[in-house]
Structure 1
C-alpha cells in the first residue's frame, strides 16, 4: 500500500506547489497556459517516445486489454448519452467529458502504482497503449474537428490525429518498441530531458488553475461532475472486474492488476487538452481533483478485496 500513497502524495505536493506559486502571484493564468502548451506540444510527445519505446507492446493482446476496453466503452458511452440527450453538450465539451469519465492516469500515477502495488510497471502498459494509440487520437480528432466547424468528418478523424504531436510521439515510440531499435544517445538524452518536463508542467499548471480558476463546482453542472466522477471511480473498475473475472475467467494477481488499473483517477493531461481546445475546462479540472482524492480509498479497497 505504500506505493499507492507515495504516488498520490507526490502528485499532491507538485499540485500544491503550483497553487502556492499562483497564490504568491509568481505565476498567473497566462503562465498556466504557457505550461500547458509546453506540455502538449513538446514535453509530452518526447515522454511518449521514450516511454513507449521501452514498453512490451505485445501485452496489448491480452485479457487486460479486453477488460480495460470494456470499462472505457461503458464509462465513456454512458457519459456521451447523457451529455447529448440530457445536458445538450456540444461535440468538444462532450469529448472532454467522456475523457474525464474514462481516461485513466496510466502514466505518471499508473506506472508507480503498478510498480509498487502490482510488482511490475508492465501491468499498466496495455491501458497506456490503448489510450495513446486509440482513445486519445480519436478524441483529438473530434476536438480538432469541433474547433474548426463543430462537425467531425471521417477524413478529419483519419488525418488530423497523425498531425498531433502527442500522437506522432506515441507512434514513434511504438515503432521503436516493435523494431527493437534503440535511439542513439545524442537523440535519446535530449528527448528524455524534455520528457521529464511533461508531468511537472501538467501538475503545476493544474495547481495554478485550481487556485485562480472558479471554485469546485462553481461553473458547470454539479450533476455532470458527479456523473463523470462516479463513472470513473465506480463504473469503470466494476465493468473491468466483471469482464475479466466473470467473462474471461481471470483470477488472482492478474485480476487485481486489471481492476486497480481501471480504478486509477482521471489523467491530468485531460486538463491540458481541455485548456488547449478551450472545452469543458472546469469539468475536466474538477473531475481530476475529485477522482485523484477518491481513487486512494477505492484502490485500497480493491487491493484489500482482491489482493
Structure 2
C-alpha cells in the first residue's frame, strides 16, 4: 500500500499548494484559468510526446486492453443513459459527465499503484495508451462538436482531432515509439521541462478552484455527483472484474491489475477539459474530489480480495 499512499500524498500536496496560494491571494480564479489553458495547450501535449515516445505500444494489444475498454464503455454508456433520462444535459455536458464517471487517473496514481501494488509499472500502459490515443481524442472531438454554434461539415469533424494539441502530441509520441526514432537532445531537454509543468499546473489549478469556487458538493448537482461517484468507484471496477474473469478467463495478477486500474479515481485532466469547454466545471472538480477520496479504501479492498 506504500505506492498507493505515496501517489495520493503527492496529489494532495499539490492540490493543497493551490488552495494555500489562493488563500494567500497569490493566485486567483484568473490564474486558475491560465494554468488550465497552459496545461491543455502546451504542457500536456509535450507530456504526451515524451511519454509515448518511450512507451511499448505493443502492450496495447492485450486482454488488459479489452477489459479496460469494456469497463469504460459500459460505465460511460450508463452515465449517458442516465444523463439523457434524468439530468437532460446537452452533448458537451454529458461528455464531461461520462468522462468524470469512466476516465481514470492512469498517470499520477496509475503508475505508482501499478509499480508498488501490482508489481509492474508496465501494467498501466494499455489503459494509459487507450485513453490517450482513442478515448481522449474522441471525447475532445465530441466536445468540439457539442459546443459549436452549428453542426460542422463531416470533413471538418474528421479533421478536427488533428487540430487538438493533446491529440497531435499523442500522435507524435506514438510515431516516435513505432519508428524507434529518438528526440534530439537539443529538443528533448526543453520538451521534458515543459512536459513537467502539466501535472503540477492541473493540480494547482484544481486546488485554486477548491478554495475559491463553490465547496465540493455544493454545486447544485448532488444526485448527479453521487451517481458519477458510484459508477466510478463501484460499477467500473466490477465490470472490469466480470469481463476479465468470465469473458477473458483472466486469473491472478492480471485479473487483479485490470480491476485495480478500473478503480482509479477520475483523472485531473477532466477538470482541465471542463474548464476549456466551460461545461460541468464544478461537477468535474467535485467528481475528482470524491472519487479520489473513496478510491484508496476501494483499491485496498480489491487488493486484499484478489491478491494471488
TM bucket by the smaller chain? Answer: over 0.9
Structure 1 counterpart of 2:169? 169
Structure 2 counterpart of 1:181? 181
1:245 aligns with 2:252: no
Structure 2 counterpart of 1:58? 58
Structure 1 counterpart of 2:30? 30
Structure 1 counterpart of 2:95? 95
Aligned partners of 1:170 and 1:95: how far apart in 2? 21
User: What number of residue pairs does the alignment pair up?
Assistant: 307
Structure 1 SS opposite 2:220:
coil
Aligned partners of 1:192 and 1:111: how far apart in 2? 18
Unaligned stretches of 5+ residues in structure 2: none
Deviation at 1:255, TM superposition (A): 0.9
Change (3 A) 1:79 1:154: farther
Structure 2 counterpart of 1:145? 145
After TM superposition, the structure 1 stretch with the greater mean CA deviation from structure 2, 107-116 or 196-205, is: 107-116
Deviation at 1:147, TM superposition (A): 1.9
Structure 2 counterpart of 1:71? 71
Cα distance per residue 1:106-143 (max 9 Å; x no partner): 11221121112112221111111111111111110111
1:114 touches 1:121 (CA, 8 Å); kept in 2? yes
Deviation at 1:214, TM superposition (A): 0.8
* Alignment root-mean-square deviation, CA: 1.1
Structure 1 counterpart of 2:41? 41
Q: TM-score, normalised by structure 1?
A: 0.98
Structure 1 counterpart of 2:226? 226
Structure 1 SS opposite 2:285:
helix
Deviation at 1:217, TM superposition (A): 2.1
Q: TM-score, normalised by structure 2?
A: 0.97
